[in-house]
Structure 1
C-alpha cells in the first residue's frame, strides 16, 4: 500500500486547461463551423451571442487572439453579458494572464451572483495557482447553487483527496460520474482514493474503467501498474508503466515505476 499512497498526489488527473473547460462542443472549433458562425455574424453584426459562440469556437481551436476579439465585441454590444466575461476569462487563463481572468470572473459574478460556471472557472484558476482553500470555497458555492456541472464535484474531490479526506473525495467523484458517466478522469481519481483506503478491488475496477473510456491517460496506466506491482504481477506492471512512459516520456511516476520493476 505504501507505493500507491506515496504516488497519490502525482497520479491524480488534474487537467483544467481552457480546452477542457470551455462549455461548447469541441466540433465548433472546426474550421467549417467557424466559417458558418462568421456567416451568421455577417448577417447579424450586432448579435452579441453570435460573437460569444464564435469566440468559444476560436478558443477551442486555440486561436486565442481571435477569441478575445469576439468576446470583446460581445461585451461591447452587451455590457451585462456575464457568459462572455466568463468565457473571456478562460482565454486569459490560457494566455497566462491570471489577473485579467480574475477580473472577468469577478465581473461575471457581479452581474449574476448565481452563475455556477464562473465559480467553477474561478475555482479552477485558484487551484492551478495553489490556492486550494479559495478553490474549495468556489466549488462549494457552485454546488450549493445545485450545479449540474460535473467539474465542480470532480475538482472539489481532488482537493479532498489532497487533504487526505478520501471518503468525501469518493462521494464527490461518484457524483461527478453520475453527472457524466463517460468522463474517464473521475473514475481514475476515485480509484486513487479507494486505493488510499485499502480498497484495491474497487480501485482496480475504477482505474480500468478510466482506461476503457480513454486509453491515452498516462496517469491511469501508472495507477494500474501500481496495483499490479502490489499484487506481485511484475510483468503486467512493467507493461502498464511502459505504456504510460510511451504516452508521456517525461512523466516521472512512469519512469520510477519502470525502474522499480526492472530492478
Structure 2
C-alpha cells in the first residue's frame, strides 16, 4: 500500500488528502529510473558516444579555459554513465565560471546518480539562486524531493516549472505521478496527456496515463496506452506488466502470464512482474484442472 499526503495548491486542485492505493493500481507508475526522461536535455551534442567525447576533448584542448566546453563534455560523460569524469568536468566548469547555473544543475544530477543527495540539493539550490527562472533546476530539485518522499516540496517545484512555461515533459509527467499517488486521477491524466504531447515518442507518459485510466475503471483506454508504450519501446518491463494487468482484469490469465513473463525476462528484479507471473500461472493451473 502507498499513502501520500499532499498540500492545498489552488482552487482547481483542492487540498490533497492521504489516499491508500493498492499496489496493483499503481504498479510501475510511481517508479522512475534516472534516465526515464532524458535529464540533460539542453545539451544536444552530448550523446555519450566515444566519438562525441573525443571531439569534445579536442575542443577543450583548443580552449582549455572555456567553461561551456567542460559543461558539454561533462554532460556527454553523464549520458555515458561515466559519472566521476562528468563530476570533474562540472567542477572545472564552475571553477571557471561560478555563475554557470547550467553547470550547477548538471552537477546536481550527477550527484543524484551517485547517491550524493545533499550535494545534489545544494547544487540545485545554487542554480535556482543564480537563475530563479531556470525550469530545469526546479524539475531536477522536484524529482529529488519526490524520490525522498517530500511530496509537498516536489509538487511546488514542478508547479513552478510549469508556471515558467516549461516545454520539458518531465515537469508534467512527475506532477502527474504525484496526482496519481494521491488518487487525483483526472488531474494525473491531464498532466500525462500534456507530457505525451511534448514527448510523443516516450513511453512513460502512456504508462502513467494508462495506470490512472485503470484506476478509473477505463480498461479500454488503459490497454491502448500500454500497447502504445510497448510499440514505442518493447524493452521496458513496466509496459508489459501493465498490459498483463489488463489481461488479468479481463480474466485472461494465460495472456497475462505471457506478458508478465516478458516483463520479468526484461527485468528479473521487477517485483510487479514476478508477483503477477506467479499469480497468473497459479490461476491458469487452477483453470486447467477445473
- TM class by shorter chain equals over 0.9
SS at match of 1:21: coil
Contact 1:89/1:102, CA 8 A, preserved across alignment: yes
**Structure-2 residue corresponding to 1:111:** 130
- Map Cα deviations across residues 114-172 of structure 1 (whole Å, 9 max, x no partner): 00000000011111111111111100000000000000000000000000000000000
The separation in 2 between residues aligned to 1:182 and 1:169, in whole angstroms, is 19
**Structure-2 residue corresponding to 1:183:** 202
Mapping for residues 24-103 of structure 1, pairs under 5 Å = 24-25=43-44, 28-103=47-122
Structure 1 position 27, deviation (Å): 6.1
The separation in 2 between residues aligned to 1:156 and 1:105, in whole angstroms, is 18
- The answer to which structure has the higher helix fraction is 1
- May I ask how many residue pairs the two structures share in their alignment? 260
* Aligned-pair Cα RMSD in Å: 1.6
**Structure-2 residue corresponding to 1:156:** 175
Contact 2:46/2:73, CA 8 A, preserved across alignment: no
SS at match of 2:27: helix
- Map Cα deviations across residues 191-240 of structure 1 (whole Å, 9 max, x no partner): 00001001111000001000010111111111111111111222211110
**Structure-1 residue corresponding to 2:268:** 249
59-68 or 178-187: bigger deviation: 59-68
SS at match of 2:99: coil
**Structure-1 residue corresponding to 2:228:** 209
Contact 2:46/2:72, CA 8 A, preserved across alignment: no
Contact 1:5/1:195, CA 8 A, preserved across alignment: no
Structure 1 position 18, deviation (Å): 5.5
**Structure-2 residue corresponding to 1:223:** 242
**Structure-1 residue corresponding to 2:32:** 15
**Structure-1 residue corresponding to 2:258:** 239
The separation in 2 between residues aligned to 1:208 and 1:163, in whole angstroms, is 25
Q: Which has the higher contact order (CA 8 A, sep 6+)?
A: 1
The separation in 2 between residues aligned to 1:90 and 1:240, in whole angstroms, is 34
Structure 1 position 28, deviation (Å): 2.4
Structure 1 position 16, deviation (Å): 4.1
Contact 1:48/1:75, CA 8 A, preserved across alignment: yes
- Map Cα deviations across residues 69-109 of structure 1 (whole Å, 9 max, x no partner): 11111111111110000000011111111111111111110
9-18 or 91-100: bigger deviation: 9-18
Extract structure 1 runs of 4+ deviating beyond 4 A: none
26-35 or 235-244: bigger deviation: 26-35
The separation in 1 between residues aligned to 2:85 and 2:23, in whole angstroms, is 43
Compared with structure 1, are the counterparts of its residues 17 and 26 closer, same or farther at alpha carbon in structure 2 (3 Å cutoff)?
farther
SS at match of 1:181: coil
Contact 1:5/1:196, CA 8 A, preserved across alignment: no
Task: Name structure 1 gaps, 5 residues minimum.
Answer: none
The separation in 2 between residues aligned to 1:239 and 1:69, in whole angstroms, is 46
Calculate the TM-score normalised by the size of structure 2.
0.86
Compared with structure 1, are the counterparts of its residues 133 and 26 closer, same or farther at alpha carbon in structure 2 (3 Å cutoff)?
farther
Name which of 122, 129, 143 aligns with 1:124: 143
